[in-house]
A and B are shown apart, each in its own frame.
Chain A
Amino acid sequence: MTTEAVLVVGAALFGIGVFGALSQQSFVMLMMGIELMINGSLLVLVAMWARAASGSPDGQMLAIVFMTVMAVEMSLGFALITGVYRVRRADITEKLRKLKG
């Protein structure tokens, strides 16, 4: 397991996430794309920590911040989905041509 191989896997996950976030119409699928992007960056971050940071715990702290960002993104995303559905009965992005009510 070379560091480069892990970086390539992380880049692949990020690329899949970019595709998903740009192409999906459903709100939840779009969030899945964003999650995959964060996951790819997390993988690369941990790889660099394990191989190039001489085990300094700061790298793991940054990874914990990444995970917080994931949790925040998910919960606020679900809340927005609930709010938008309540008002507009919308479940795909195309139904939200106007953001202002």
Chain B
Amino acid sequence: MTGALIDLSFAAFSLVAIVAGVRVFRTDSMVRAAFYLLASFAAAGGIIVLLGAEFLGMVLILMMAGEMLVMAIVMVMYMMNPAGLNPMVMVHQPRTAVVAGVVAFLAIAGVGLSGEVPSRPAPNPAAATADLGRELLGNSMLVFQTAGVTLLATMVGAIAVAAPRGRYGDAAEGSEEPGLQPDEEASA
């Protein structure tokens, strides 16, 4: 791609990523929020592809597409008002949060703009992807395997946490709110 086209696509992707990211928290419908987040991720994946990490960008988009569908289902299952039929404002400490977000943005952007980025660009994308493949199954195989085992442990943990019955009985057992009177339980 030529330079102008790259600049144009980068501008479009950045706009989509940021606007969709803001819309995630400004929409009434939680399902729509999930799809806005997916749009934001897809645009970020596009920027990553533009930067030359084609494999990572596509993996990010694929992973997020699956994740957002799960997210939409979870919202419909558990959350109130998932369809956005009523206006929804579910925030606490909004002012503090806005200030914290703006401060985080300004601080990180300031560091990014004030620092000097050394210019040692990556080789062409095909070579970069081939390098990554060799690295994954070569020097960094331990990292790769550790990530895999971590994901396996996460699966086991997630099932253990979400299961209705644990090893020692019902998951809800012993989790009821204690009574208001301290003697209530003793006398019962």
Contact = CB atoms under 8 A, between A and B. Distances in A.
Interface of A: 1, 3-20, 22-26, 28-29, 31-33, 35-36, 39, 42-44, 46-55, 57-58, 60-61, 63-65, 67-68, 70-72, 74-76, 78-83, 85-88, 91-94, 98, 101
Given A57-B135, A68-B151, A101-B176, 6 more contacts: A4-B117, A20-B97, A54-B121, A74-B71, A83-B171, A92-B90
Ranked nearest first, the 4 interchain pairs of A and B with the lowest CB-CB distance are: A15-B105, A7-B112, A19-B101, A55-B122
- Most A C-beta atoms less than 10 A away, residue of B113, B147, B172: B147
Contacts of B120: 51-54
Contacts of B55: 60
B183 to A, nearest CB: 20
B135 A61 contact: yes
Interface residues of B, number: 88
B86 interface: no
A50 B98 contact: no
A68 B150 contact: yes
B51 interface: yes
A25 B91 contact: yes
B157 interface: yes
B87 interface: no
A60 B109 contact: no
Contacts of B136: 61, 64
